[in-house]
Amino acid sequence: MSTGTGSSSLVVLDGHTTNPGDLSWQPLERLGALHVHPRTPASLVAERMAGATVVITNKTRLGEAEFAAAPLLKGVAMLSTGHDVVDGLAAAARGLPLCQVPEYATASVAQAVFALLLELTNRTGSLNTGVHQGHWSNAEDFCYWDGPLRELAGQTLGVVGMGRIGAAVARIAEAFGMEVLIHRRTPGPNTTDLASLLARSDVVSLHCPLTAETRQLINAERLALMKPTALLINTGRGALINETDLAAALHQGRLGGAGLDVLTLEPPPASNPLLHAPNCVITPHIAWATKAARQRLIAEVAANVAAILAGRPRHVVNQPLFTPARSPAPGGSGPRQPPPAATPVAG
């Protein structure tokens, strides 16, 4: 789909999940000629972004080869908060800002955390299915349930990662009457070390970014620290959890249950062990996807694109490496000059 007008070419490589047709791309159409592709296979990425002024992506991977094919590119705008699908170092070397949307789905994701948690504690979906299958009609008593029902009041919630979403989850938990423990990368007066949080919590909710340090943060060793009745919630990144270890803990009764909106590979192969694990509720990465959140996302991406076009990029995640691109020499369209002596910055 191509809409909008102007000298700037804006290319959306994978727009379907953000806007399957129930929203408008008008905020971006106002900024230039907009080309929206529902999805882009790897073989077509370079071709589709060849003439782009700004390329917009959610899950389509971009690296040096793709940037080299786009000599007019001024920046990359993420259709998401996460940005690990784009090589920020390669972008910085060409003077290209990589811009994320830091906040658009906080309320929606926090809501999804409790949708998963309440399914595990109240079994609403399971019981609804049973009622429609005739189990209540055939019951001997006025009520029935098919597994333990748990009250949240008085339980302890451990929040791993205390950004905007983690803070929102903590507030909701307190409204339920839960005690809240917090673990964050930078310790503070009200934080708990990870081992203690895992050991003390009745529910653990993951909200940390995926980095080399947090990849498979929850593994067999850390699962062994948790109570056998504990519940694990993950709406962050699938690879925060070693899925084989989690499945084994669920099968062996060493964990009370898990509620997951993300998996390491998405969509998951049928062989993913969690698809067959007991007491494991899985939703298909939709915590972010309420209509209100997606509307905010498009508006925020448009603001990021406008800032890139104006030469004042915002929400730049490769900022320590990024320096504004120099204009090519007359008649030239080669790579931008890389920033001098750029070195990665931890964290």
Domain ranges of the chain: 2-103+290-309, 106-282
Q: What angle do CA 80, 86, 92 make, to 5 degrees?
A: 115
CA-based radius of gyration for the chain: 23
Pseudo-torsion of CA 76, 81, 86, 87, nearest 10°?
100
- Annotated catalytic, 300? no
C-alpha dist (Å) from residue 20 to 25, 51, 260: 11, 25, 23
What does the pLDDT read at residue 320? 74
> Does residue 246 contact residue 263 with C-beta atoms inside 8 Å?
no
Residue in 16, 39, 266, 312 annotated catalytic? 266
What pTM was computed for the model?
A: 0.87
Residue in 237, 294, 315, 336 annotated catalytic? 237
- Annotated catalytic, 237? yes
The CATH number, out of the four listed (3.30.70.260, 3.30.930.10, 3.40.50.720, 3.10.180.10), of the domain defined by the range 2-103+290-309: 3.40.50.720
- Annotated catalytic, 215? no
Give the fold, CATH level 3, of 106-282: Rossmann fold (3.40.50)
> Does residue 61 contact residue 37 with C-beta atoms inside 8 Å?
no
What does the pLDDT read at residue 98? 98
With 0-12 / 13-18 / 19 or more C-beta atoms within 10 angstroms meaning exposed / middle / buried, residue 294 is: buried
Helix (H, G, I), strand (E, B) or coil at 260: strand
Strand partners, 180: 157
Q: Give the separation between CA 125 and CA 122, rounded to whole angstroms.
A: 9
Strand partners, 286: none
> Does residue 34 contact residue 6 with C-beta atoms inside 8 Å?
no
What does the pLDDT read at residue 323? 61
How many other C-beta atoms can be found within 10 angstroms of the C-beta atom of residue 197?
Answer: 21
**Edge-first strand listing for the sheet containing 280-282:** 179-183, 156-160, 203-206, 231-234, 257-260, 280-282
Q: Give the separation between CA 215 and CA 13, rounded to whole angstroms.
A: 27
What does the pLDDT read at residue 319? 82
Q: Give the separation between CA 121 and CA 241, rounded to whole angstroms.
A: 21
What does the pLDDT read at residue 188? 83
Q: Give the separation between CA 197 and CA 158, rounded to whole angstroms.
A: 6
Q: What is the DSSP letter of 269?
A: P
Query: One fold for both 2-103+290-309 and 106-282?
Result: yes
Helix (H, G, I), strand (E, B) or coil at 57: strand
How many other C-beta atoms can be found within 10 angstroms of the C-beta atom of residue 212?
Answer: 6
Report residues of the chain scoring pLDDT below 70: 1-6, 322-347
Residue in 35, 37, 222, 285 annotated catalytic? 285
Q: Give the separation between CA 346 and CA 179, rounded to whole angstroms.
A: 32
- Residue 53 φ/ψ, nearest 5 degrees: -85, -40
